[in-house]
Amino acid sequence: MVLGIIPFVWTSIVPLLGSVETGQTSAQETATPTPTSTTQPVQVSPEARQEELKQRLLGQARGYEAILQSEPENQTALLALFETRKELVQLGAADIKQTIEPLERLIRLNPNDIVFQLELGSIYAQQQRLDLAIAIYDNATKLDPQDYRPLLAKGIVLQLQGKKEEAKPLFNRATEIAPVAFKEQVQAQIQQIEILTSAPKASPAPGQPVAPAPAATPNSNVQTQPVAPAPAAAPKRETPTPPVAPTPAATPQSDAQTQPVAPTPATTPENNLTNPTTGDKETQNP
């Protein structure tokens, strides 16, 4: 149940984890396509606009893939391909695992880049490959013990696994060393995770009072239902049945038939006589 909220959690934490170094590049990239998108939406529907964006991103991805075929270590093309595929994932036009390959190549070319490792760790977390995500965050912490982001990310993974005691010191340390500009955001993120992970345990408690409430409502419904049909349905069913009952009340006729049947067999045995000479039965008429 708790692991099911991982995609939701990471959509909210990824901007915080990468905001220090990748925030400016993402803002520039999102600002570039807006002029083209603002002129077209006036004439096309949102569905058509999303389809146009998807096709444009797919074309860009194919272009970056073509560049990487001839220049496998072109980091600009690798980063652009990763960002493009990530946007396609958000649009539902690509699988998240397609973002791993260019990101792993970027990490091999930049082994000390914590941002790339945080991105890869978040992808592993969304895939619920939590052990791999923790290994990535541990490695990032070794690269820079004063970076709060790997500590925060690992603490969130442990919190989602139910290891709250292990996550608590990581949350405290991340809050302590976080820059002043991000300290409040870190605290808010930690509180959000704690609320989400404690909701499944608190939900049964309010669920119990809710259970008797609907149990009482059917009783009230049972009372309201007989009131409505009693005046309406009962007279309709009673009026047809009485006329049907007197018409088949031909029961006295059947009684009249049984009365003549009774004297008939009573006279037949008395009038039947046996001839003592022949042994045949003879009928005498009076």
Are residue 94 and residue 134 in the same domain, yes or no?
no
Residue 270 lies in a domain: no
63 pLDDT more than 60: yes
**Neighbouring residues of 22: CB distance < 8 A, sequence distance ≥ 6:** 115
* CA separation for the pair 171, 151 (Å, rounded): 7
148-166: average pLDDT:
96
43 pLDDT more than 80: no
Residue 102 lies in a domain: yes
pLDDT digits (tens, 9 = 90+) for 225-237: 444 444 444 444 4
| Residue of 131, 165, 168, 126 lying closest to 17 (CA atoms) | 126
Domain's final residue, options 178, 199, 220: 199
Domain's final residue, options 183, 199, 215: 199
pLDDT digits (tens, 9 = 90+) for 161-180: 999 999 999 999 999 999 99
Which H, E and C letters describe 2-62, residue by residue?
CHHHHHHHHHHHHHHHCCCCCHHHHHHHHHCCHHHHHHCCCCCCHHHHHHHHHHHHHHHHH
Q: What is the mean pLDDT of the chain?
A: 73
Q: Could you give the number of structural domains in the chain?
A: 2
Give the residue numbers spanning the domain of 147. 130-199
Domain of 189, CATH number, reads 1.25.40
pLDDT digits (tens, 9 = 90+) for 81-136: 999 999 999 999 999 999 999 999 999 999 999 999 999 999 999 999 999 999 99
Residue 123 lies in a domain: no
Q: Residue 282: beta bridge partners?
A: 273
